């Protein structure tokens, strides 16, 4: 078994879907959490001057969160049972990435920002969640692709979990029973439940 070390800041952020994958797969790894003051020294030593970074056997290093995610999904059998399911997983991940890009808000004024977020919830989040709910209903397994969790489920769970905790887009989330069922099913999966109970408490 390879020795894994996942380095990221002491928060959930971009590394959390991969931590969830390790938990579900029951694979041991070093959850290396970097505090702010350590980052300046470590940054020049990383492949691209950014985190997360996955180190394997103390030698090979892989950066870029989605590259790490894809690698682990292949290693842990989370990329679908065949080429078609694998392609549908990639399709869903690319779609999610497009939506996340649209949700980036740089406005600092609280009132203007709130108005922008509300518009995004109506124009972008609600249609996206409606399509996801329809896909979940059609698939029938409780997961987005196939009969068991795949890479996209880990990213969806993390995003929706974050929205719930930060009280973002909760009105849209609560409209769809299929999504609420997905969240309940996922959080009670073996490995996931215990990780959620023990993971460090962070702001995001």
- Give the residue from 13, 43, 76 where a domain finishes: 76
d(CA 88, CA 109): 39
**Same domain as 92, residue 68:** no
In-domain check, residue 49: yes
Token look-up 């249609």 returns 127
Among 76, 100, 122, identify where a domain stops: 76
Q: Are residues 42 and 89 in the same domain?
A: no
Q: How confident is the model at residue 204 (pLDDT cuts 50, 70, 90)?
A: confident
What is the pairing mode between strands 53-56 and 60-63?
Answer: antiparallel
In this structure, the answer to whether residues 97 and 134 fall within a common structural domain is yes
- Answer whether residue 198 is part of any domain: no
52 and 94 assigned to the same domain:
no
* Same domain, residue pair 147 and 101: yes
pTM to 2 decimal places: 0.96
Q: For residue 103, what are the domain limits?
A: 83-187
Same domain, 65 and 87: no
- The predicted-structure confidence for 35-71, as pLDDT tens digits, reads as follows 988 999 999 999 999 999 999 999 999 999 999 999 9
pLDDT in tens, 88-121: 999 999 999 999 999 999 999 999 999 999 999 9
Q: Is 11 a member of any domain? A: yes
Average the pLDDT over 24-34 and give the result: 98
Q: Is residue 177 part of a domain?
A: yes
pLDDT of residue 1: 86
Give yes or no for residue 75 having a pLDDT over 90.
yes
28 and 110 in a common domain: no
pLDDT at 42: 94
Q: Which of 76, 98, 123 is the last residue of a domain?
A: 76
**Encoded tokens for 82:** 């065949």
State whether 90 and 72 are in the same domain. Answer: no
Question: Mind giving me the DSSP string for 40-90?
Answer: HHHGGGSSSS-S-EEEETTTEEEESHHHHHHHHHHHTT-S-SSHHHHHHHH
Does residue 203 fall inside a structural domain?
A: no
Does any domain span residue 194?
no
pLDDT at res. 36: 84
My answer on whether 100 and 116 are in the same domain is yes
Q: Say whether pLDDT at 203 is over 80.
A: no
Query: What do you get for the CA distance between the two ends of the chain, in Å?
Result: 31
Tell me, yes or no, whether 204 lies in a domain.
Answer: no
pLDDT tens for 131-186 read 999 999 999 999 999 999 999 999 999 999 999 999 999 999 999 999 999 999 99
């Amino acid at each position: 078994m390879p020795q894994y070390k996942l380095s990221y800041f002491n928060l959930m952020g971009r590394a959390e879907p991969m931590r969830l994958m390790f938990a579900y797969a029951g694979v041991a790894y070093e959850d290396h959490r970097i505090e702010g003051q350590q980052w300046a020294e470590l940054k020049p030593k990383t492949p691209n001057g950014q985190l997360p970074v996955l180190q394997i056997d103390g030698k090979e290093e892989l950066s870029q969160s989605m590259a790490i995610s894809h690698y682990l999904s292949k290693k842990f059998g989370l990329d679908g049972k065949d080429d078609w399911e694998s392609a549908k997983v990639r399709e869903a991940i690319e779609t999610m990435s497009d939506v996340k890009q649209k949700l980036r808000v740089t406005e600092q004024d609280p009132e203007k920002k709130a108005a922008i977020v509300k518009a995004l919830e109506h124009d972008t989040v609600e249609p996206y969640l409606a399509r996801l709910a329809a896909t979940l209903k059609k698939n029938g397994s409780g997961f987005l692709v196939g009969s068991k969790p795949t890479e996209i489920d880990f990213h969806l769970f993390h995003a929706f979990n974050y929205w719930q905790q930060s009280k973002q887009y909760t009105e849209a989330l609560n409209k769809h029973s299929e999504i609420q069922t997905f969240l309940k099913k996922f959080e009670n999966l073996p490995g996931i439940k215990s990780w959620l109970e023990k993971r460090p408490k962070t702001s995001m």
